[in-house]
Every structure is written in structure tokens, then in C-alpha cells.
Structure 1
């Protein structure tokens, strides 16, 4: 008997031929990676990896540990990339040079100050030169100059009297600034700088010379006398020296500025010639009938041309070209911040700080309470 029907190809699963039920074998590279991983888990000391060894963890526990280790790996890669991007954004190169010529280092500024800002003898002489209306007592006007100590004495406590009001009114009437008044009643260069020497050559201490001269200045101690430092002259350029040792540099003979009290001595401050003199300056106190020496060891910090050519955002600092200034140092930045803070609080800038423009008025004696309360301590 003959049966008819549809023909179908033979089933390969039942034929046992080449296409039989067999898993695809992994490549040799995959097998090597897997074998290396298992060997690594057996030999490594890294915390947590030993939990991935064969026959150590199973199921959910193995999955959790694998997830934790994978996340830690990704976190380490992320932090590495952040570090690299930060370095790439701020490529700073520090170089220490020991072959800098001494002629390239500016001679330091030397500032001499008297511990006593207001000199009573000078006050008595100065008030006689002022035009004082009849409604003001000359003794009261003289007593008001004591309030100048509020700008320099951190422990200043205002006196019980209010003579500063009369003094301030008289100074306004005579068109005298606080700076001019402070310079007039404080010891000056001629009072405590008597003889000056550069190396072995003597020169006139108060002569009209661009460099070899002492001029009236101000510091955090008030009115002072300075060499190679002129904060009120924006175009001042300090000079560099090519001599060193005890036989070179600056030597001066000083005397206490008070005419009656010779026991307080003088304070000598050594600082960078372009920086306003603050408490951070090296100082030495000279007492009567004594000799003192100040050793200066300069340190020069500079930026490479590659850093200066970076944008302000990448450089993360300001330079002279950014502000269109001839010279701009960190001390100038801190001084500007300090001045801004005082102006915001008291509406003026103290006479002893360098002039920063005409937009801020100078503090007068009526502003001493605000300054002493906020910045005197």
C-alpha cells in the first residue's frame, strides 16, 4: 500500500550529526581572562576580593559583594579622572632656583618707628600754629590729639572726655588732613635718624635723593621714617644692591624721638620695599646706648611665562596685567581687602594705610570710635 503526504527534512536534533546539542566553546582569550581572575582571587590580599573565591560565597551574598567591589572600582576611576582634570585645568609648575644673581633682588625697605605716636612736645608746638576760634580752648584742642592712638594702639580705650570733637573741628577749619596732623605731632625723621651710611660712605639722612634718603611714611605703628620705601608714590621703583655682609648695606645712628623720655627706644622694621608694613614684618627694638644688627636672607618667588599666559580662571590668581598696575603683590591684595572692610564698616580709610584712590574719604578723629571698636582689638 502506498501512502502519500508532505515531506519534511530530517530533524537534526535527533540525527546526532554535526549540529547536535553542544554549547559554544569560549575562546582562548576568554578562558585566559577567567583563569587569571580566579587565580587573582586566590592569591590577592586586597580586602573583599577573597570573598569572590570559588566555593566561598553563593547567590545573593556573592552578588552583593560583587556589586560593592564594582562600585568601589568605578568610584576610584571617577576620583582619578577628577584629579587629572583639576591638574589639567591648573597646570602649575614650581621651580626652585639657587643661581639667582643678588643684583636681581631688591634691597629691603627699612622703616623706623617710635613706640609713642603722639609726642606731647610736638603737640604743644603744633597747636600754636593753628587758627583756633575763641569758642575752643587750646588745651582741649591739644588733648584731642590723643585720639590718634586709636588707629595704632590695639589696647586703646577712649578717654572720658570728648576733646576730639574740638580738635577735629579745628583741623577742618585749618584744612588739615588726619595724615598731616599725625605727621606733625609724631616724631619725625630728623628726630631719631641722625647719621646714615651706605657701606662705608656717609650720606645726608634727609637729603633729596631718589634712594639714599629717609622719608616720612606710615606703618601699622603709625607715622614712621623709611628707607627704600615710599607707599604714597605709585611710581616708586625700589633699587637692588650688589653688596652684602656687615661692611655693606645700610647703617644708621638713631635717637629716641621724645625730647624728655629717652627710655622707650626705637622699632626697626625690615620688609619688602613694595609691601605695606604690617605686623608680619621682621622687627628689632633698639634701646639707648646699644648696637643692633639685622640679617636679611632674601627669598624670591616667581611664575614661569607659561603660567602667566594662562587665563585668570585657570591661573586662579590676579597679576599686575589683570589690574593694569605696574606692580601687584599678595600684600597689596590683602591690604585692599582690609581697606574695603573698614570702608564698609566705618565709611572711611585710616590715614596710616596707603592711598587707594579718591573714592574713599580719610578717617578723621570723629571716626576713631568706629575703627577702635571694630579693628583695634
Structure 2
């Protein structure tokens, strides 16, 4: 038992001894490496730590100074990196940009009357012949307006489905046929003072106000929706318009986004409207008139559109001001999580990204998720989606009143555009008087029933906010180098020196015998000779046969490989080199 504990204790002592030897070897290696580095580095201050004639206090003082400089350098670099990573974008303002570089806004005009009496009477005759009463027909038409502005209706769901089935058409098709045709709403149009055919420069579009008439609207540039071709358009459609394909390229705002050559009322769009108050059947607002929406040409007329109302016998003047946000190409290298915006062609399937259209599409998807249908005025995003009808109004109304919907429906994937144009409007509404005013746009029109709308840029320049990276990668590297040089006096070569020294020390393998030769292993005799001490050689006394009292013997040898001279006392008896 005693022998077992003795072996166990000896084993522990041997392990502890090996661990101490290893620790001692590592410390010795680190001390040697640190000594060599301080002697040879180009960094300021380190050579004073291992200076030959320096005291311990001086070495410790310089060591503290060097460590403090390293810490200060690290703090400055971290602050610079933190500022770069948290605020990578800088914005500058430029107010000298000409307005003719800006796209003219899209102008969407919607009559407040959503059921055109003339078309409703045609559809009502069909209902009468199939057994529906006048009261049921009127309740049905009055209720259709609620599809745009959800509210309670007076018709029951069963009757509503029966009427729709009897008509044999979809909700979307029914609402399009019941709108006032653009050919009736738009009496006269002028672009930059030149009279144009309204039927050729305006087109029927969907908007949050239902079916409307739009100028310079190009929503299809940023989304992929299937629009009806001219060949597939229903001949019974009251709003179908025959466009001259060959001359469409010369029509303003039809094929491509339009730009105005200047500012002022005479350099813009002028439209004469006839809302036909005697044709009102069901209106979305408690007055006779039209709504004018100003929006980006590629946006769906919903979120972000500015709206103004015009009444019969009034002149509505809309002065538009533009504000541009332009992101430079240097922002593409910044992650989306940092710049928080999308460039064009960065979203798969979209040529021109629109933030407002993305929000509208997100709202539509949430309505579909909660109610299982999509309002008719939203563009068709996917085939097979059911269109909301009168029985779905309760769900649509509850969504509009619910605050949880907006929390759940937050569209996190929709980010602003990196390059975008925002429009701001100033409105002036004046009632017309009979003052014998005459112009091409007003000549021959009944000013008591007609409204006039003027849309134009109010200034010759616009404000542009340019967003770019606050610092590029090469400037960031140069800033780090400046901090490194300020605190430690270093450069790229200092880093290379450190890497070189670490690599050299790591791969260096020298036998210990060459570094510390032992007394027993002497070099060959051809490389060794005995010599007289230096003090004796300086006297240069004549050689005497009398023995000297100095018993010390110095052995000196040369190693050709190491080029080093060492002197070792190997005995107490002096011998002549010849005798050795």
C-alpha cells in the first residue's frame, strides 16, 4: 500500500515537473521573442523597454506608455468603425436641378358618381324582365357604392347574389360598366397649350376610388399584371376606346413617362370636366364633383397619392413641386439592412420598384388573408382570387375599423425606393364667373356645369437629396492607418514586420547544442588553440624559462559557421600553445 502511494505521488510530481518545465519554456520563448521584437520593431517607444542601460523603473514606465498607446489606438478605431457601421449614409442637398429632368406626375380623375344612371337603366331593364322589383334594383345599385367605401347596406345577401347571377357578369366587369365613361367625363384636354383628344391620352384604370380616367399612368412598369388586350376586350364594354397604335407613340403620356419642358400653367395639363350631375345614381361622397389624384406615374393610385376635389363651375389649380431622393451607386455595396431601401431591378420580377405599390399590394394580400377575397379595384395579382361582393362588406368594414389589422399587416418587406421622386401640391379652387372669358379650352362650353383642372409644375427647379456612402472602403482603411500612425507611429510595414517575426520564430529550429555548447564537447583541434591572457600579451615581456605564478589557462576556439569567439577556463595549469 505504501509502495502504491509512493508511485502515485512520484507520478504527480513528475507531471507537475513537466508542466512547470513547459511553462518555463513558453515564458522563456515569449521573453526572447518580445526582446527581439522590441529591439527591431519600427514602432515608437518599444525599443526603450529593452534598452541596455535602462533601469527597471524606466522599462516599466515605457511598457505602460506603449500599452496605453495601443489601448487608445483601439478605442479610436472602434469609434470610427461604430460610426461607419451605424451611420453609413450621408445626405447632401442640391437645389439647382432643372424641373424638365423630373417626370410629370400621373393625374387620375374620378367622378364621385359610381353608378352612371344611363348605364344603370339599361341593366335595370334586364332585372325587371327577370322578376326583380324596382325597389330591389335601386337597393342593389345603391349598395354597389359600398364596395369602394365599406358601410352597411339595405339589401340582403341572398338577393344580392341572385341579382349578380342573373346579370351573368363579374363584380369587376359590372363596376366598370356602371362608371361614367371617360369620353363623357373628359370634355376637352390640352397639353402645353395644344388641344388633344382626351380619349387618346387618357385611359381607364383602377384606383382606390374605383374605375377612373388616368393621364401619364404607367403602373405596369413596375409590376406584372395581365391587362386586357384590345383583341380580348368585350365589345359590350361602354368604356372601350379605339386607340391608333401607329400614332400612339406621338401621344403624350401614352407609351412612356412624360416630362414637362418647364413650369407654369401654360406648360402643363389642362382638362375640362363634365360630371353630369343629372346622371348621378349612387355617389361615394355627399356632393357632386370629381376627385383628382396626383401621384408618381409608376405608382398604383392608392397609398401616397395626393387628392383634391373639384366642383361644377369651379377652376381647380394644382401647382406641383418635386422632391427627389437620389442614391449613388456606392450605396449598392452597403447591405440592405443598413441602407433600408431598394434599387430598381433589385426585386425579382420588377423592373422599377415602387414603395407605394408594394404597400398597396401588401394591404391587398392581408385583406385576402382575412376575408378570403380581394376588392375589385385592386389590380389582379394572382389568378383564381375571388372578388369581394356585398356579403363580404362586413368583413371589409371590420378590417377598416380594427387597429390590430394595421399591426398585423405591417409590411416589413416593403422598403422605400433608393431613388424616388415625391410630389407636393398646392391647391387653389375658385368659382367661375361669367366675365366673357374666351380661350381654346373654354370656348363653347357651359361654364355652370363644366369644371376646369390645371396641373403644372410651379417652379423651374426642384430639391434633390443625394444619398451616398459616408466613407468608402479605401478611405476607411486610410483612416485606420492614420490612427495607427498617430498613436504608435506605425504603417503597413510595421504589420508586415510583426507577421514576419512571428513566422520566423515559429519556423525557426535550432539545436540547443549549437546555442549552448557544453564543456565536454570541444571543437576539433584544428579550430582551437590556447592563448595567453590579454593582460599578459599587452606587457610584451621577453619569454622566460621561469615558470609563472599565474595558473589560469584560456582556451579560445573559432567556429566558422557561427563566427563567434568564446573563452573558457578549462584548468588551473598554464601550458604553452605549442605544448598543447
1:361 aligns with 2:386: yes
Shift of 1:306: 1.9
> In angstroms, what is the RMSD of aligned CA positions?
3.7
CA gap 1:131/1:274 in 2 versus in 1, 3 angstroms: same
Q: Give aligned pairs, total.
A: 306
Partner of 2:210: 222
Q: Secondary structure at the match of 1:354?
A: coil
Q: Which of 324, 331, 346 pairs up with 2:371? A: 346
1:113 aligns with 2:110: yes
Shift of 1:86: 7.1
Decide whether the 8 Å contact of 1:141 with 1:166 is kept in 2: no
d(CA) in 2 for partners of 1:273 and 1:123? Answer: 32
1:158 aligns with 2:149: no
- Tell me the alpha carbon deviations over residues 205-264 of structure 1, each in whole angstroms, 9 at most, x when there is no partner: 112xxxxx1222232222221111154675774222223211111001112243256961
Partner of 1:27: 58
- Tell me the alpha carbon deviations over residues 64-96 of structure 1, each in whole angstroms, 9 at most, x when there is no partner: xxxxxxxxxxxxx79x95894474277334343
1:177 aligns with 2:170: yes
Q: Which of 129, 143, 148 pairs up with 2:144? A: 148
- Bigger shift: 326-335 or 219-228? 219-228
1:244 aligns with 2:263: yes
Q: Secondary structure at the match of 1:294?
A: strand
1:295 aligns with 2:288: no
Q: Which of 121, 124, 128 pairs up with 2:121? A: 124
Alignment of 1:268-347 (within 5 A): 268-278=292-302, 280-319=304-343, 320-347=345-372
Partner of 1:3: none
d(CA) in 1 for partners of 2:356 and 2:381? Answer: 14
Partner of 2:459: none
Decide whether the 8 Å contact of 1:151 with 1:376 is kept in 2: no
Decide whether the 8 Å contact of 1:90 with 1:315 is kept in 2: no
d(CA) in 2 for partners of 1:222 and 1:201? Answer: 30
d(CA) in 2 for partners of 1:82 and 1:346? Answer: 51
- Bigger shift: 91-100 or 245-254? 91-100
Structure with the higher strand share, 1 or 2: 2
Alignment gaps of 5+ in structure 2: 1-54, 66-74, 225-254, 281-285, 403-580
d(CA) in 1 for partners of 2:329 and 2:275? Answer: 48
Shift of 1:324: 2.6
d(CA) in 2 for partners of 1:237 and 1:131? Answer: 43
- Tell me the alpha carbon deviations over residues 85-114 of structure 1, each in whole angstroms, 9 at most, x when there is no partner: 474277334343334343331111111122
CA gap 1:282/1:322 in 2 versus in 1, 3 angstroms: closer
1:97 aligns with 2:94: yes
Decide whether the 8 Å contact of 1:217 with 1:231 is kept in 2: no
Q: Secondary structure at the match of 1:300?
A: strand
- Bigger shift: 244-253 or 232-241? 232-241
Decide whether the 8 Å contact of 1:108 with 1:272 is kept in 2: yes
Decide whether the 8 Å contact of 2:220 with 2:298 is kept in 1: no
d(CA) in 1 for partners of 2:276 and 2:82? Answer: 59
d(CA) in 2 for partners of 1:361 and 1:87? Answer: 49
Shift of 1:275: 1.4
Decide whether the 8 Å contact of 1:112 with 1:269 is kept in 2: yes
1:88 aligns with 2:85: yes
Shift of 1:316: 3.7
Shift of 1:147: 2.5
d(CA) in 1 for partners of 2:264 and 2:59? Answer: 77
d(CA) in 2 for partners of 1:127 and 1:143? Answer: 11
Alignment gaps of 5+ in structure 1: 1-23, 35-76, 208-212
Decide whether the 8 Å contact of 1:165 with 1:365 is kept in 2: no
- Bigger shift: 227-236 or 283-292? 227-236
Q: Secondary structure at the match of 1:206?
A: helix
Decide whether the 8 Å contact of 1:228 with 1:238 is kept in 2: yes
Partner of 2:419: none
Partner of 2:185: 192
Partner of 2:195: 202
